[in-house]
A and B are shown apart, each in its own frame.
Chain A
Amino acid sequence: MPPRAACSPWRVRIAIIDTSTTRAAIIAEGLRDAGLDDQVVLDPAGPLVRQIEACAPEVVLINLENPSRDQLEDFFAMSRALGRPIAMFVDQSDAESALAAVDAGVSAYVVDGLARQRIKPVLDVAIRRFQAFSRLQAELAEARTALADRQTIDRAKAILMRRRGIDEPAAYALLRRHAMQSNRRIAEVAEAIVTSDALMGDLP
């Protein structure tokens, strides 16, 4: 086993386990920016337990949806290899930080006896980075949907212009009016037109 990082009172060794390597990198960067640079990002495809034993962390951060959580908790419950038992982080004096972590989608385990003031900054960074990552993902999904919508609407307009012999503004107005009347999004109406054209476009 490598020498314990805990020898230095100022350092906290952190292990990051995340099914998303991008998010793991974002968290690692956030921790480094906060001066918490003693960290190991585990290989999600590698042997989990052996990697943890090798790096002997004092704090383990893992995404809530990671399929290895049950295995990890069992290891923490059984193993004496780490010298000190690791348990789920639950700050009884401040239940909100544990809740905030779960809300953000991250779960933290800490070695027994690690002082609260040394855990708090790690958790705060992890929570903020998880939240930022979720926001980015939501924005990306939104942008993708907007782009797909745009393309569908363009195709529907082209179909209407061809089949009804109208110009683009008229085709758009037709789409818009129909969407309002049927209480649907313009993109949904456009989607229906594209689909029906694909199935029946060659019929008279």
Chain B
Amino acid sequence: MSTERLRVGFLPLVDAALPILAHELGFAEAEGLAIELVRDVTWATVRDRLIYGHTDAAHMVAPLAIATALGRTGPAMAMAVPFVLGLNGNAITFSAALGKACGLGEMLGEPHAVGAALRATAMARKLRFGVVHRYSSHNYMLRYWLAGVGIRPDTDVEIVVTSPPFAADALASGEVDGICVGEPWNSIAVDRGVGRIALATAQIWRRGVEKVLAMRADVAADRGDATQRLIRALHAAAAHFVRPDTAEGSAAILARPAYLDAPADAILRAITDRIRLVRGGEPVHYPDFMFQYREAANFPWRSQAAWLYAQMTRWDGRGYDAGDAAIAAATFRPDLYRAALAGSGAVLPGASSKLEGALGEPIGAGSTQGRLVLGNDRFFDGRAFDPDDIPAYLAGLP
């Protein structure tokens, strides 16, 4: 078996763990794959390197892969998402002053209650929140929650883009009153004493799709064998990553200057679902803060892409378009995931799409390989998403 080579772009975030560990711990090598990791500091550059062939695949915020396929950020380029790199793992952090004004307690608050407190403050003074990218799950999760508690994004609060490594600075300088970013950047703001974590995005949607492995559709097709090896290597890395006894080792690798260049203890807290909400406080355990591997979490459900498209329609101010919806859903490629993992120990769902947010407790689901159990995937407002009727879903939103 000759070695295949793939260049993989990433941003310094905890959920870049799978490609980094696949490279560092030999999961790629075991598949006859050499991964060259390419680090950047903006999603725009991760996307450009992917589009212009500096990289073959990239760690990417899921909505950006869809926006690229739809030509919302530049030229339309057919994209393929054959693997989800993780669910959730982000948080909403308030500035110290806003946290105080909202009376945040020692534990993570309930989203409606935190929302009511925020609303009282937001009506008195126009607040500004920072998200990592216009086309990010962070933006959509934040907006979903705000709208759900009666705070109108863009009208009652301003939402701007803040690069994750500068998010703590933006809180400290008062440039923003809150941020919605990935780890370890919330924890770093907390440890600096400039912010306090108000909510985990997992409280807004228990199983929210986060980063994905994005490729150009033509590259995924032309490099089919290499793509399959990459999917298998990432899946093996995910199995390793969720073992409790590997957390410290993973945190130490991710902390290195070449990867996150961030404190290992902050990274470890994120990996182990222990979140320090306020400087000097005891970390709070919030199960499934960051979700990985179990419940076929890495499977690219087309319904996840459809939900993201629905949010894009909601906030981009363009109407629903059935053609765009079809392109968005087709960006997620369960067929590539299945082809790569057929015959392995991986659980393969039978369906490619499902109702999102419909499950209150774990339930067995149809699979073609292995035993699939899906857990609680509720949205905080109890609303469910039917990917086959996006217009009705949009009409019912606040």
Q: Is the CB of A67 within 8 A of B42?
A: yes
List the A residue with the shortest CB-CB distance to B139.
Answer: A74
Q: Is the CB of B163 within 8 A of A64?
A: no
Q: Is the CB of A102 within 8 A of B41?
A: no
A66 within 8 A of B: yes
List the A residue with the shortest CB-CB distance to B162.
Answer: A71
Q: Which of A6-14, A85-93, A139-147, A176-184 contacts B (4 or more CB under 8 A)?
A: A85-93
What 0/1 pattern do residues 30 to 55 of B give for CB contact below 8 A with A? 00000000001111110011001110
Q: Is the CB of B160 within 8 A of A64?
A: no
A33 within 8 A of B: no
What 0/1 pattern do residues 345 to 386 of B give for CB contact below 8 A with A? 000000000000000000000000000000000000000000
Q: Is the CB of B45 within 8 A of A65?
A: yes
A190 within 8 A of B: no
B161 within 8 A of A: yes
Among A66, A74, A92, the residue within 8 A (CB) of B75 is A92
In terms of DSSP, what is the predominant structure of the interface of chain B? Answer: loop
Among B40, B42, B52, B161, the residue within 8 A (CB) of A99 is B52
Task: Find chain A residues with CB under 8 A from B92 CB.
Answer: none
Among B40, B43, B75, B162, the residue within 8 A (CB) of A65 is B40
Q: Is the CB of B52 within 8 A of A74?
A: no
Q: Is the CB of B166 within 8 A of A73?
A: no
Among A65, A98, A107, the residue within 8 A (CB) of B41 is A65
Q: Is the CB of A98 within 8 A of B45?
A: no
Among B48, B73, B75, B162, the residue within 8 A (CB) of A64 is B48
Cα distance A64–B132 in the bound complex, in angstroms: 17
Interface size classification for chain A = 20 to 34
- Closest chain-A Cβ to B169's Cβ sits at a distance in Å of 11
Task: Find chain B residues with CB under 8 A from A74 CB.
Answer: 133-134, 160-161
B9 within 8 A of A: no
- Closest chain-B Cβ to A2's Cβ sits at a distance in Å of 24
In the complex, which residues 96-134 of chain B have their Cβ closer than 8 Å to any Cβ of chain A?
A: 132-134
Task: Find chain A residues with CB under 8 A from B40 CB.
Answer: 65
B interface residues, tally (CB under 8 Å) = 23
A77 within 8 A of B: yes
Cα distance A70–B40 in the bound complex, in angstroms: 12
Q: Is the CB of A70 within 8 A of B49?
A: no
Task: Find chain A residues with CB under 8 A from B42 CB.
Answer: 66-70
Q: Is the CB of A69 within 8 A of B44?
A: yes
Cα distance A66–B45 in the bound complex, in angstroms: 9
Cα distance A92–B132 in the bound complex, in angstroms: 29
In the complex, which residues 50-66 of chain B have their Cβ closer than 8 Å to any Cβ of chain A?
A: 52-54
Task: Find chain B residues with CB under 8 A from A90 CB.
Answer: 74-75
- Closest chain-A Cβ to B199's Cβ sits at a distance in Å of 23
What 0/1 pattern do residues 50 to 67 of A give for CB contact below 8 A with B? 000000000000001111
B165 within 8 A of A: yes
Cα distance A179–B163 in the bound complex, in angstroms: 47
A103 within 8 A of B: yes
22 A-B pairs with CB atoms under 8 Å apart are: A64-B45, A65-B40, A66-B42, A67-B41, A67-B163, A67-B165, A67-B166, A69-B44, A70-B43, A73-B44, A73-B73, A73-B134, A74-B133, A75-B161, A77-B73, A88-B73, A90-B74, A102-B48, A102-B54, A103-B52, A107-B44, A107-B48
